[in-house]
Amino acid sequence: MAKVKVTLVRSLAGHPGDQRATVVALGLGKTNSSVVKEVTPQIGGMLHKVRHLVKVEEI
């Protein structure tokens, strides 16, 4: 499977709790934190849900 680098580029302030929980489940905490993930259908759905908050780069 492909790997992607996910970076939190926008603050979670003012966003719904389900989006906050999704970002935390991806392993992101503070703004500009990054994590490398394998692309699975579950991770793809999570990234789609918070696509306005994160930057995704293929590795």
pLDDT, one tens digit per residue, over 10-31 is 999 999 999 999 999 999 999 9
Question: Does pTM surpass 0.85?
Answer: yes
How many other CB atoms are found less than 10 A from the CB of residue 10? 14
Tokens representing 59 are 């590795």
pLDDT of residue 16: 97
User: Tokens 């849900």, residue?
Assistant: 49
Say how far apart CA 49 and CA 59 lie, in whole Å.
21
Domains, the chain, in order of start with CATH, read 3-58 (3.30.1390.20)
**HSE, side-chain direction, 13 A CA sphere, residue 19:** 15
